[in-house]
Amino acid sequence: GPEQAASALEAVSSSLASDFVQDLPTGITAAIVDEMRSDEQADLLSEMPQSDADAVLREMDPGEARDARELLAYGADTAGGLMRKEFLHFPTGSTVGGVIEDMRENADSYADYAIQYAYVLRDGVLVGVLRLRDLLFSSKSSPVESVMLPDPIAVPVAATIDELRDFFSANKFVGVPVTDARGALLGVVHRASIRQAQSERAEDDLLKVSGIVGGEEIRTMPLRVRARRRLSWLSTNILLNVISASVIAFYEDTLQSVIALAVFLPIISDMSGCSGNQAVTVSIRELALGVVKPNEIARVLGKEASVGVINGLVLGLVLGLAAFLWKGNMYLGVVVGGALAINTLVSVSLGGTLPLILRGLGRDPALAAAPILTTITDLLGFLLALGFATAFLPLLTG
């Protein structure tokens, strides 16, 4: 039934949920979405193609559709986009007995609400919070104003996810009301929604770093969608790869003289990519968590350069030693190991800072950082190894 389906879709991420409903008839999707919580409705609809979302909204219950449209109009990562429209509210002048009576009458519609608080409104403006448990201890004839906590904390509808995270870090509340400029109550953001939104954003970023773009991929999706999505990322990559490898073509003469270098070029390329990608992943994560800000490039650069020096020296020594042991030529070891050491330092420093730079420029760092990084470090790695080799050519061939 739609209710079970709604419950199942709420339990998975919204991009996954949108993949599940994409092949269902619009009427059935609308019936399922009607049963979902307003914030989950908006998440799901925002992941669907615009025309599909519009079709579903037209077939939904008008009240549900209005709430979903309102949430969709706010940015997905703002209080407006993250809030739920399911909350209890009563006008000033209500009595405790009246509130209890309303809750009894509407027990079924309120079943999905996270009822720990009810909100007291004067002409729509939030003036107090009623803790449900306080109703138990009060006389039924008391006006709600005498039981409520006055002047409740609220957040503006435009508050960002980072501001909300800071709010919930500093406060124990399970939810916070969201108000507009005149103080009217628009919805309630729950602590759990913030954590979930952050997790989904972080997971999505990590998937992009590995080349899974356009949202999560699940193997029940059609073959052409999966192949096309993956190719969109791979085809950019192959062009960038051809560009960086073309450096090798300029050094054909050196390679011809020291053919052993051909063994080490893929190693230098792969290892620099790995080292740099570790730094990219850490930065992407820290950006998603809000632990680092895009303008902290100098701090991140310092931190990463230190790691880059240590790991560059270790890896350069290992590879240089391998080259020396294989060919018995110390200079080959110096050329190969030196190129890897320097390239690791650059790769790690660049990998750490590139996501911050891209974010600062308003680009998606999760998507662009890895391809840009590997292109630059491949290019530089080949240039260093073959350039050094050209400079030391007599020693290498002697």
Structure-token match 């429209």, residue found: 85
Q: State which of positions 77-106 bind a copy of itself (CB under 8 A).
A: 100, 103-104
Q: Does 358 bind a copy of itself (CB under 8 A)?
A: no
Q: What is the smallest separation between the CB atom of 180 and a copy of itself, expressed in angstroms?
A: 26
User: Contact with a copy of itself (CB under 8 A): which of 86, 156, 203, 395?
Assistant: 203
82, 194 Cβ separation under 8 angstroms: yes
User: Contact with a copy of itself (CB under 8 A): which of 73, 153, 291, 391?
Assistant: 291
Q: Does 293 bind a copy of itself (CB under 8 A)?
A: no
Q: How many residues bind a copy of itself (CB under 8 A)?
A: 107
Q: Does 168 bind a copy of itself (CB under 8 A)?
A: yes
Q: Which stretch binds a copy of itself (CB under 8 A): 38-46, 54-62, 65-73, 297-305?
A: 297-305
125-131 and 88-91 beta bridge pairing? unpaired
In terms of CB distance, is 53 or 244 closer to a copy of itself? 244
**Which amino acid type is present at position 201?**
R
Q: Does 311 bind a copy of itself (CB under 8 A)?
A: yes
Q: Does 393 bind a copy of itself (CB under 8 A)?
A: no
In terms of CB distance, is 158 or 322 closer to a copy of itself? 322
DSSP 68: H
Q: Does 201 bind a copy of itself (CB under 8 A)?
A: no
Residue 296 phi, psi dihedral angles, 5° rounding:
-90, 35
Q: Does 391 bind a copy of itself (CB under 8 A)?
A: no
User: Helix 26-34 vs helix 2-10: angle between axes, to the nearest 10 degrees?
Assistant: 70
Q: Which stretch binds a copy of itself (CB under 8 A): 52-60, 141-149, 180-188, 292-300?
A: 292-300
x-or-dash string of contact with a copy of itself, 229-268, rule CB under 8 A: -xx-xxx-xx--xx--xx-xx--x--xx--xx-xxxxxx-
Q: Does 212 bind a copy of itself (CB under 8 A)?
A: yes
Q: Does 363 bind a copy of itself (CB under 8 A)?
A: no
Q: Does 226 bind a copy of itself (CB under 8 A)?
A: yes
> What does the alpha-carbon distance between residue 327 and residue 315 come to, in Å, rounded to a whole number?
19
The greatest distance separating any two alpha carbons of the chain, rounded to the nearest whole angstrom, comes to 102
Q: Does 182 bind a copy of itself (CB under 8 A)?
A: no
DSSP 296: -
Q: What is the smallest separation between the CB atom of 380 and a copy of itself, expressed in angstroms?
A: 13
Q: Which stretch binds a copy of itself (CB under 8 A): 52-60, 67-75, 218-226, 354-362?
A: 218-226
Q: What is the smallest separation between the CB atom of 83 and a copy of itself, expressed in angstroms?
A: 17
Neighbours of 290 (CB within 10 A): 14
In terms of CB distance, is 69 or 229 closer to a copy of itself? 229
User: Contact with a copy of itself (CB under 8 A): which of 59, 70, 86, 112?
Assistant: 112
Q: What is the smallest separation between the CB atom of 162 and a copy of itself, expressed in angstroms?
A: 12
301, 353 Cβ separation under 8 angstroms: yes
Q: Does 218 bind a copy of itself (CB under 8 A)?
A: yes
> What does the alpha-carbon distance between residue 283 and residue 297 come to, in Å, rounded to a whole number?
11
DSSP for 209-246 reads HTT--SS---TTS-HHHHHHHHHHHHHHHHHHHHHHHH
User: Helix 261-289 vs helix 297-327: angle between axes, to the nearest 10 degrees?
Assistant: 160
> What does the alpha-carbon distance between residue 78 and residue 197 come to, in Å, rounded to a whole number?
10
Polymer length in residues for the chain = 398
Q: State which of positions 25-84 bind a copy of itself (CB under 8 A).
A: none
117-122 and 88-91 beta bridge pairing? parallel
Q: Does 336 bind a copy of itself (CB under 8 A)?
A: no
Nearest to 211 by CA among 235, 227, 238, 230: 230
**Which amino acid type is present at position 151?**
D
Q: Does 216 bind a copy of itself (CB under 8 A)?
A: yes
User: Contact with a copy of itself (CB under 8 A): which of 51, 108, 170, 362?
Assistant: 170
3-state helix, strand, coil in the chain (%, to 5): 70, 10, 20
In terms of CB distance, is 170 or 181 closer to a copy of itself? 170
Q: State which of positions 143-162 bind a copy of itself (CB under 8 A).
A: none
In order of 130, 259, 331, 340, the CA distances from 252 in angstroms are 78, 10, 19, 20
Q: Does 374 bind a copy of itself (CB under 8 A)?
A: yes
